[in-house]
Chain A
């Protein structure tokens, strides 16, 4: 009998990790309500949703699998160009284009994953940076295909699901991007709480013990890298489809660096870090752009330096304190 009750305790404890917190539900309700609350800012909201998806992708490999990357823009760019070229030359259906973007980026992730399996963090940073630079150069020199420095123009999108046409206010764009983000988030949430997700955390925490526990480290990391690449490709595809334009900028180094800042702001390893970070990042960018548009880069740099020098601990400490209070409040509400 005693063993029986302990079994159910174990089951409950395992369930606790994936239980929906009231704050999570509130977060998503707000995200969808933003469509009605901020009708004039839908283009910005769309950008936030896309950046959040991109950051979610980096969080999967950095926060869960412990792979550092300075070249995540490679997958964003791959997804954007694949989806853009597909829409231009094959067909304008958004969901098919999304799948094409994810597939192309995922394939690139799979092919380049052997490069990041071994080596120190430093080697990984260099290699991911190198891969992204190679892709940038390729896109730049294959001008006949990608439009080179002028960008890929002439992308025409059909309505989403054949019903919702893209408009200049970003209504369809935001709801489309947010829905894709939400669905992919649900999948990611499922994945990180699965045996596979647990094994990723094991490899991140201690690769030696992971392999001594029967985990095939390299194969799991490759799978996670491929999945994250596909997610970044989805973000790229959304970017191409909702702006109907792809420029070389999607492959630029600053995309990868910005993304790290987003995750530094939001914190890695709990899935919401990328989303919260993306909101903070874009609002900050928007606010700063209103008084000094051209020196945004300086402020990014300053934030990076301050964050690493100690600001991160302060902010996360404050957030944790607030979250703790919210959590007790939430539990009180449920009971």
Chain B
């Protein structure tokens, strides 16, 4: 049971890394980017290709996945995302669904529809036991890496100049602009960072979540739950939301496999009804 819980935490950690970029872009520009998962998929495929074609070691592929997704993010933000900020939520949703569809079909065409795998280095394979609890090495690795990442993001958000400007802009973009904060550039950077993190998470998550062209659609709802439940104005909100979701999903599927993903969808609807502004929103207001 504790092993399952441990797996759930690892899963939640990956969800956090995947989703936190989305929550910041949503909070900053009030923009709904359902295509966020496409960047994660990109990172995943870059990692797979780099390992298989170039023979790079796994650890080198992770930063590569980050860079590739961030780079594509910057370009797309500049070219096609920027005109969308002023449009309605409905338009943004339609637009980003369109991108998802294109990414799914395009990846299918380029890479084929089969499930992708990576071969983990030997030191990350297998599991060991501590006090009767089976612990997967890779899952421990994921928890440590993502935990460090979450911690440094939180620290950067709270203590750096970039972080304080970002917080000001999330709070009130107009006021921030008036204070001379270059909100547009800030957003482009944040968008790239968010995409990069998604790419990183996508590469890290191949082992846990699988990777095939339908990835952005399959996990879209997960990212949305992280964001809507966690709120969009902090790092900690999405973090706890991702943990909750990861544990609920893994434990739920373990205990009652028949009803599958039903639990988390129901959980989301209930949470959205009872706390329409996010689980952690009120504490700050």
Contact = CB atoms under 8 A, between A and B. Distances in A.
A127 B269 CA distance: 6
B80 A129 contact: no
A140 interface: yes
Contacts of B80: 305, 309
Contacts of B262: 134, 137-138, 141
A305 B259 CA distance: 35
A304 B94 contact: yes
A130 B269 contact: yes
A257 interface: yes
Contacts of A126: 224, 228, 268, 272
Given A68-B90, A115-B273, A130 B98 contact: no
Contact of A301 (B87, B91, B97): B97
Interface in B79-107: 80, 83-84, 87-95, 97-106
B272 A298 contact: no
Contacts of B217: 253
B285 to A, nearest CB: 16
Contact of A127 (B83, B258, B273): B273
Nearest to A261: B94
A134 B98 contact: no
B49 to A, nearest CB: 21
Contacts of B101: 254, 257, 297-298, 300-301, 304
Contacts of A141: 258-260, 262
A182 interface: no
A122 B89 CA distance: 7
B94 A301 contact: no
A68 B91 CA distance: 11
Given A138-B262, A141-B262, A298-B109, A308 B87 contact: yes
B45 to A, nearest CB: 16
B272 A301 contact: no
B56 to A, nearest CB: 30
Contacts of B266: 134
B259 A301 contact: no
B42 to A, nearest CB: 15
A123 B80 CA distance: 25
B188 to A, nearest CB: 18
- Interface footprint category on B: 35 or more
A308 B91 contact: yes
B104 A137 contact: no
Contacts of B258: 141
A134 B89 contact: no
Nearest to A121: B89
A304 B268 contact: no
A138 B262 CA distance: 7
Interface in B109-141: 109
B245 to A, nearest CB: 13
Contacts of B83: 309-310
A304 B95 contact: yes
A131 interface: yes
B276 A123 contact: yes
Nearest to A310: B83
B102 A305 contact: yes
Given A115-B273, A127-B273, A305-B80, A260 B94 contact: yes
B102 A301 contact: yes
A114 to B, nearest CB: 8
Contacts of A297: 101-102, 104-105
A99 interface: no
Interface string B136-148: 0000000000000
20 contacts: A115-B269, A120-B89, A122-B89, A123-B228, A125-B32, A129-B221, A129-B224, A133-B265, A264-B94, A295-B105, A297-B104, A297-B105, A300-B98, A301-B98, A301-B100, A301-B103, A302-B98, A303-B98, A308-B92, A310-B83
Interface of B: 32, 80, 83-84, 87-95, 97-106, 108-109, 217, 221, 224, 228, 258-262, 265-266, 268-269, 272-273, 276
Given A123-B276, A137-B259, A305-B80, 13 more contacts: A70-B93, A119-B272, A126-B268, A127-B273, A129-B221, A137-B265, A257-B97, A298-B101, A301-B98, A301-B99, A301-B103, A303-B98, A309-B95
Closest 4 pairs (CB-CB, A-B): A304-B98, A301-B101, A298-B105, A301-B102
